[in-house]
A = this chain, B = another copy of it.
């Protein structure tokens, strides 16, 4: 028998641009109280952009939180009242310049449900048409094309270390293998 944690008190500690922080006091199944530190996040989309039937378009950018340049699938925050599919088309175009109407929903997942409600909606983009990128102010992004088999090896060598990108590349591999 499992029980939910009952919220006894909820303290907002910070309301920011990208995230909020709150601490909930919860009642556990044994009636004891505990604290839960929770980061509220609007959630995002991530896109697996497939080109040439064997390659993906990835983006490289500096991630201050980890003090590293990371190679990732294109992604972005969902705006208020925006359909994730619309976000996916918009972010792909902004970050990479590629546009398409073929944006297929694949799955959604939580990045780290132990402390944040951030959820990512993952899409597969095909029939891509190349164009001009138009990143947001403050975004500095490099766009690069990689063969799917090279990407699988880069995961194995620890050169791709972003969770959504690992999930996306594995799904792209399955999709491309199934098509052959």
Contact = CB atoms under 8 A, between A and B. Distances in A.
Nearest to A7: B64
30 contacts: A2-B60, A2-B69, A2-B142, A5-B62, A13-B14, A14-B21, A16-B23, A17-B37, A19-B37, A19-B39, A21-B21, A21-B39, A32-B137, A39-B39, A39-B116, A63-B110, A65-B114, A65-B117, A66-B113, A70-B113, A110-B161, A110-B163, A111-B111, A112-B116, A112-B163, A113-B162, A119-B161, A120-B163, A167-B167, A170-B170
Interface of A: 2-5, 7, 13-14, 16-19, 21, 23-24, 26, 28-29, 32, 34-39, 41, 44, 60, 62-70, 72, 75, 107-120, 137-138, 140, 142, 155-156, 158, 161-164, 166-167, 170
Contacts of A72: 113
B16 A37 contact: yes
Given A111-B163, A112-B116, 7 more contacts: A17-B37, A38-B64, A108-B161, A110-B161, A110-B162, A111-B112, A113-B162
A39 B14 CA distance: 12
Nearest to A156: B107
Contact of A70 (B60, B65, B110): B110
A162 B163 CA distance: 10
A1 to B, nearest CB: 9
A168 B19 CA distance: 27
